[in-house]
Amino acid sequence: MSERIVVQVDEDLQEIMPRYLEIRQRELLELEQAVSEQNFDQIRMLGHKLKGTGSAYGFDELSRLGMLIEDKAVEKDMSDVPMFTSKVRHYLDNLEIVYVETE
């Protein structure tokens, strides 16, 4: 059984969360393809999107992984990029959102 990654998210984001996650899943497929092709420009752009949006939606780990992916792509260094990409997949595949009221 997979481990669940439980993240508390502001209940105000509940309506838009399915669309946000759908976009991240689509971009993950693009990222995996870019990694297989060693397309650093595409890897950098997709890492940048993860970095920029993750924390805003309560997913600090996605932002952290996006930053690591983007930084490696800027350096044109593929080491660790497949591992970071795999961690993004694991995170998204095992994510369980708990909506909470915030002040």
pLDDT value of residue 1: 52
CATH code, domain with 62: 1.20.120.160
pLDDT band at 102 (very low <50, low <70, confident <90, very high): confident
The pTM score is 0.94
Mean predicted confidence (pLDDT) in 22-51: 98
pLDDT per residue over 37-48, tens digit each? 999 999 999 999
List pLDDT tens digits, range 50-94: 999 999 999 999 999 999 999 999 999 999 999 999 999 999 999
Neighbour-count burial of 5, counting CB atoms closer than 10 A to its CB (0-12 exposed, 13-18 middle, 19+ buried): middle
Count: domains in the chain: 1
Domain membership of residue 59 as a residue range: 5-100
